[in-house]
Amino acid sequence: MLTRSLKIGIVCPYSWDTPGGVQNHIRDLAEFLIAAGHNVSVLAPAIDETKLPDYVVNAGKPISIPYNGAVARVLFGPVAFARVRQWISHGDFDLLHLHEPAIPSISLLACWAADGPMVGTFHAAAKRQKIIFAIGPILEPAIEKLSARIAVSEAARLTLTDHLDTDAVIIPNGIYANRYADGQKIQKWSGNTIGFIGRFEEPRKGLSILVDALPVISRFAPDVKVLVAGPGDPEEVIDTIDPQLRPRFEFLGKISETEKADFMSSVAVYVAPNTGGESFGIILAEALAGGACVVASDIPAFDDLLGHGEFGALFESESSTELAKVVIDLLRDQNKREVLSARGKHRAQLFDWSVVAQQIYSVYEMSIVGSSKVRLASDTRPWNRFLSKEEKS
Amino acid sequence: MTGWLVFALIFLVNLWYLSFTATRLDRLHHRVETSWANLDVLLQKRAAVALEIAHSDIADPASSMLLTAAAYQARDADIRNRSQAESGLSGALGLLLEDSQHLATAADNALLTELSGLTDKIKVAIALHTDAVARTQMVRRKLIVRIFRLAGTAPLPITYEFESDVL
């Protein structure tokens, strides 16, 4: 993979110390590139400076703004802009990789400030918003500076073509498939069990749909149990569950990566009833890699990831009766479960970092051909060049 | 007095906008050139790999002949015939790959993997090139660009037909 060692600058728009898909993706990518012998610097906002790994440069304290139905911790403003410019001019980068450059963040600032080879990755999938007519003309010239655009899924690509009228290459998010491949089957998690992982308090993760489906499921499979893992306070959710069903639920709290691998190989079916706001569905890729039989709502990102039902079963989003039907069908038919999970495991290899990073790297290679290093755009503007010449002579 | 100030301000803003658009256009033209250069290099590599496949055991004599001819054509074609020649090569490779998958030996497999890796890269390069071309065409259609002839003498970039049928 390594042809020559590159100096790569990656910009993370969201606060490094809050958990999130984009941050995880950048961390894994940076670590993979460093292991491959490249020189990587990540610029990211952070709340607590002391816990940053040594390849991360702190850009300042983030502020919280509402964005796309959630709270985003981002950073912008004149001070941040100065930091970004300083980072670029001192970094001497061969290439900049900006994540989510279309939202107000240091990624967008870096896109404004820099000139040279730049790659942008778009993670979000959102419905077309009217506001884009107002901000489109401002964003377009900036986004245009990116020599290549990457979308993490078909849904993210459609969002991009819809909003900014520009196309992108699809490269999925990466996972370390091997870490999930050899999980142990744990007795207390196996049997007729339904697994769920995620921040269950958030409505868009869809736990309530699974709760609504359970009465029907338990009628056909009397010994069914639901295992819920993920950060959050279970008390509130338990209150909303019918008392008769409460013993069937077990909340495991946040689980580690190895436990996740065991979890995926133990449960009979893994359910992802998300109602939207999902652009890729990294957890599904992990579930497939762990050999779980996956049942997911048919939102575009999941439909795409599961190959329209080839690698996991789909049900109509937000319909608990449909979910119940699909789950009962699978719980009864072990053969079908095994077929799906075998196909899924094979599918997950496509999302392994060894494959994904190679694809990203070939986009890097194409972007740096024939260009010089990344510089500040202000240094290359004609009048500034003219002025600095005067000074020198 | 204020009238003159306002006029001067508007003039300056317009001047800035013209310079801004010219820089933008220059950048786009540069991107079209580099993305084409990328694609060109990859296509040359593909022709070389195609020749190697033609000389290996993967190809039977008849398809070997077809492939050799197509590869040479793709290599030597001038810009006017390039698109047709690359389409021809894509077609010849497609024909061969369709029924050779199951009878390839290990050594041949290395060639085929190289080819499929190359094809993946070519697809990305094509996407980048067509996007750069589309953006450039879009900006060049703007009234301000046409009136002030901001594109200068740079030829209007075009996409090639073969770009849609690479397998």
Looking at the fold, whether A192 and A329 belong to one and the same domain comes out as yes
Write the residue in B128, B135, B138 that is nearest to A366 by C-beta.
Answer: B128
pLDDT of residue A383: 61
A90: exposed, middle or buried (C-beta count within 10 Å: 0-12, 13-18, 19+)? exposed
| Interface ipTM | 0.77
Check which CATH number belongs to the domain holding A204 and give it: 3.40.50.2000
Residue A54 lies in a domain: yes
Based on the fold, state whether residues A62 and A154 are members of the same structural domain.
Answer: yes
In a domain, A49, yes or no: yes
Residues of chain A contacting residue B130, judged by C-beta atoms under 8 Å apart: 167
Cβ–Cβ < 8 Å for A69, A275? no
Does residue B131 register a pLDDT over 80?
yes
How close is the nearest chain A Cα to the Cα of B129, in Å?
10
Q: Which residue of B has its CA nearest to A142?
A: B24
Q: What is the pLDDT of residues A143-196, one digit of tens each?
A: 888 989 999 998 888 888 888 778 888 999 999 988 898 888 888 888 889 999
With contacts defined as CB-CB under 8 Å, which chain B residues touch A147? 31, 34-35, 128
For residue A393, is pLDDT > 50?
no
Residues of chain A neighbouring B28 (CB-CB closer than 8 A): 144
* pLDDT for position A384: 64
pTM: 0.84
pLDDT digits (tens, 9 = 90+) for A231-261: 888 888 888 888 888 889 999 988 888 899 9
Compute the nearest-CA separation of B125 from chain A (Å): 7
In whole angstroms, what separates CA A61 from the centre of its chain?
Answer: 22
Residue B28 to residue A166, Cβ atoms within 8 A: no
Contact B27 A144 (CB under 8 A): yes
User: Which residue of chain B has the CA closest to A170?
Assistant: B124
Put simply, the answer to whether A167 touches B34 (Cβ < 8 Å) is no
Distance, in Å, from the CA atom of A14 to the CA atom of A101, rounded to the nearest integer, reads: 11
Q: Is residue A378 part of a domain?
A: yes
- Domain borders along chain B are 2-164
Angle between helix A106-113 and helix A132-144 axes, rounded to 10 deg:
50
User: In the structure encoding, which two tokens stand for residue B107, read together?
Assistant: 């050594």
**Nearest chain B CA: its distance from A161 CA (Å):** 11
Positive or negative, the Cα torsion across A323, A328, A334, A336?
negative
pLDDT per residue as tens digits for the range A41-63: 999 999 888 789 999 999 999 98
Owning domain of residue A156: 7-174+352-392
Question: Do A292 and A311 lie in a common domain?
Answer: yes
Q: Do B35 and A366 touch (CB under 8 A)?
A: yes
Domain match, A29 and A153 both: yes
SS3 B79: coil
Same domain (yes/no): A30, A98: yes
A250 located within any domain: yes
CB A291 within 8 A of CB A265: yes
A74 and A209 in a single domain? The answer is no
Q: So what's the pLDDT on residue A389? A: 55
> Contact B34/A169, CB-based, under 8 Å?
no
Q: How many CB pairs under 8 A join A and B?
A: 47
Residues of A with CB under 8 A from a CB of B: 141, 144-145, 147-149, 165-169, 359, 362-363, 366, 369-371, 381-382
Determine whether the interchain pair B131/A141 forms a contact, defined as Cβ–Cβ distance below 8 Å. no
Same domain, A35 and A107: yes
A291 dihedral zone (left: phi>0; alpha: psi -120 to 50; beta): left
Q: Is B34 within 8 Å of A382 when comparing Cβ atoms?
A: no
* The pLDDT value given to residue B127: 87
Do residues A126 and A223 both lie within one domain?
no
Whether residue A39 lies inside any domain: the answer is: yes
What's B2-164's CATH class?
A: mainly alpha
**Is the predicted pLDDT of residue A77 greater than 50, yes or no?**
yes
Judgement on whether residues A74 and A195 belong to the same structural domain of the protein: no
Residue A2 lies in a domain: no
3-state secondary structure chain A: CCCCCCEEEEECCCCCCCCCHHHHHHHHHHHHHHHCCCEEEEEECCCCHHHCCCCEEECCCCEEEEECCEEEEECCCHHHHHHHHHHHHHHCCCEEEEECCCCCCHHHHHHHHEECCEEEEECCCCCCCCCHHHHHHHHHHHHHCCCEEEECCHHHHHHHHHHHCCCCEECCCCECHHHHHCCCCCHHHCCCEEEEECCCCCHHHCHHHHHHHHHHHHHHCCCCEEEEECCCCHHHHHHHCCCCCHHHEEEEECCCHHHHHHHHHHCCEEEECCCCCCCCCHHHHHHHHCCCCEEEECCHHHHHHCHHHCCCEEECCCCHHHHHHHHHHHHHCHHHHHHHHHHHHHHHHHHEHHHHHHHHHHHHHHHHCCCCCCEEHHHHCHHHHHHHHHHHC
Q: Are residues A184 and A170 in the same domain?
A: no
Tell whether A246 and A357 lie within a shared domain: no
Domain count along chain A: 2
Considering the domain architecture, whether residues A280 and A368 belong to the same structural domain is answered as: no
- Kindly state the percentage of chain A with pLDDT values over 70: 92
